[in-house]
Amino acid sequence: MFGAVPGLLAATEPALEATTIDWFIVVTGLFGGLAVFLYGMDQMTEALRISAGAGARHALARMTRNRYLGALCGAGVTAVIQSSSVTTVLVVGFISSGVLNLTQGIGVILGANVGTTITAQVVAFSVSRYALAIVALGYGLSFFGKSQKRVVQGNLIMGLGLIFFGMSLMGLAMEPLRTYEPFIELMAAMENPLLAMLVGLVFTALVQSSSATTGIVIVLASEGLIGAEAGIALVLGANVGTSVTAQLAAIGKPPDAVRAAVVHTVFNLLGAIAWLPFIGFLAWLVESIGGPLARQVANAHTIFNVSNTLVFLAFVPQLERLVIRLVPDRPEEEPLRLKYLDDSLLLTPTMALERARLELLRMTGRVQRMLTDMLPAVLDGPAEALEAVEALDNEVDDLHGQISLYLARVGQRPLNEASTDELMDLMEATNNLEAIGDLIETNLVGLGRDRLANGYEVGQESRQMIEELHAGVSLALDLAVAALVEGNADEARAVSEMKRQLNEQAEAIAEHYAKRLAAPDDNRIELYRFETDVVSNLRRIYYFAKRTARVAIPASEQATS
């Protein structure tokens, strides 16, 4: 089959006796082929995530009006990004941010299990003869491609070729085992469905990849080393084993993340147990459909995942109540506990950016609260009120540092042009919001302490004018946050259009202060400086709010906005 692997070919002579098997060639061929298979899978899914990650993210956010449409969407997204765990993590973020409710999220998670069957269908194709040709074609596109799109397409094709080549290497390595009696006896034991399912579960839990288990099972079936029933039982076990990965990923995460992992586990475990007595029937069904044994195993994988999903979708409310009872809400968490940043999503930059956006939304909530609490504290609040505002900035600074670090790590991944622009926008918005927090904490809180130290009292008319300006600046920040989160250009333009109104308000306050200077009030010069400094800092806050909103305005308009 492949002249490039003579050691493997030498180990496959038909007359080879069991005692002369070169175990080094068999073992290295098996695990080397598995490594090539998994590397090809990584290459292919990385390319898919770069090219389709943003579309998958938006599909999840929009196409979840009911549980059935959510399941269809989850299946489609997982088929594209080839990772049900990534889909699950993204859904948890949407649930936490209020984009989805738990019922909709469960539908998407159930559908994600259907999407994973695409892997089995792909690897069941018998195209080993063309594997290296596919690798060469993909490498050529990647090497000679003049655009990022062409390079990504080349990596996708090369990854697909490596998947098939890795399976060929595993098949060649296993061929000598056809005549090795101990191995034949071991495979005969796999005809016990419960034992086979446990083997598939344990192996998947150890290697943390159901794709690896599925690939090996299909190679075994292709080489005639196992029958349909054993192959189906092994893949059933792999389905349960992949739930271990989800449970490990949920350790230490918020309740919604743990609930999503529990849904995944309950679905796979109950589904496998339900099908265990009917493996013989399922083997008969896929055999009647036809195709080689490897294709029958892949078809069985698809059938039980699709049928399980359809059954479970009818019981989503009951499943929701069950996972809430199993994973109750925790006591209020520490305010700085990160909710959305997840290292496992760094391999999918578009989705990692979505999680950074959600964490940034938490940061903006603190900045908005600082701006709201600041004015009464500065104008006539006690020292405790100023300290409370100051404490909020400590949280803003901490979130700013962690979000910035996460975005920097996302930036180390291959990004398409849209993701690069989004990364830069989020980084700028993070810095702008942190600057607002610093203005409030350093300048305005400092002015409040000066007022306390010197006993200034702001007049009623001056207070009313400052409060009106503060209300306008607060509205600008609220609109800027909405523009940032939703990408709403209209709200961003509204922030820019507020500039004239706020300038007029500031000028009116300046005229009022100029008249006050002529009045015979005590401390009028010091009070004038205090009040003008408050106004000046409010105007600077508006400047940073405007800069934050600009990320939602098309580049062609920004020169004039």
Q: pLDDT tens-digit profile of 401-422?
A: 889 999 998 888 888 777 888 8
**Is 167 in the same domain as 283?**
yes
**Is 360 in the same domain as 508?**
yes
**Is 383 in the same domain as 532?**
yes
**Is 290 in the same domain as 439?**
no
SS3 labels along 363-411: HHHHHHHHHHHHHHHHHHCCHHHHHHHHHHHHHHHHHHHHHHHHHHHHH
* pLDDT tops 50 at residue 547: yes
**Is 53 in the same domain as 116?**
yes
pLDDT value at residue 357: 84
Share above pLDDT 70 across residues of the chain, in percent, rounded to a whole number? 79
The 3-state DSSP class for residue 100 equals coil
Exposure on the CB side of residue 438, measured as CA atoms within 13 A = 10
Mean pLDDT of the chain: 78
Taking residues 304-328, what's their average pLDDT? 87
Report yes or no on 257 lying in a domain. yes
CATH number of the domain within which 416 lies = 1.20.58.220
Grade residue 504 by pLDDT with cuts at 50, 70 and 90: confident
Nearest by Cα to 171 from 311, 30, 357? 30
Q: Find all residues with CB under 8 Å of 117, minimum gap 6, and list them.
A: 298, 301, 302, 305, 306
**Is 426 in the same domain as 296?**
no
**Is 365 in the same domain as 501?**
yes
The 3-state DSSP class for residue 342 equals coil
**Is 383 in the same domain as 301?**
no
Report yes or no on 8 lying in a domain. no
Report yes or no on 545 lying in a domain. yes
Report yes or no on 337 lying in a domain. no
pLDDT value at residue 92: 67
**Is 418 in the same domain as 390?**
yes
Long-range pairs for 50-53: beta carbons < 8 A, 24 or more residues apart: 50/152, 50/349, 50/350, 50/414, 50/415, 50/416, 50/419, 51/149, 51/152, 51/153, 51/156, 51/416, 52/80, 52/81, 53/81, 53/348, 53/349, 53/350, 53/351, 53/419
* pLDDT tops 50 at residue 69: yes
pTM assigned to the model: 0.58
Report yes or no on 454 lying in a domain. yes
Taking residues 74-101, what's their average pLDDT? 67
pLDDT value at residue 490: 80
Tally of domains within the chain: 2
Report yes or no on 1 lying in a domain. no
DSSP class of residue 14?
T
Exposure on the CB side of residue 409, measured as CA atoms within 13 A = 16
**Is 193 in the same domain as 63?**
yes
DSSP class of residue 1?
-
- Which of 297, 326, 355 is the endpoint of a domain? 326
Domain that holds residue 210: 22-326
Q: CA-to-CA distance for 303 and 165, rounded, in angstroms?
A: 27
Report yes or no on 534 lying in a domain. yes
Residue owning tokens 């400094």: 533
Q: CA-to-CA distance for 441 and 447, rounded, in angstroms?
A: 10
CB contact at 8 A, 264 and 250 = no
Report yes or no on 173 lying in a domain. yes
- Per-residue CA distances from 431 to 215, 428, 473, 538 (Å): 46, 5, 18, 17
**Is 283 in the same domain as 355?**
no
Q: Find all residues with CB under 8 Å of 143, minimum gap 6, and list them.
A: 154
Q: What H or E segment, with its residue span, contains residue 162? A: helix 148-174
**Is 352 in the same domain as 411?**
yes
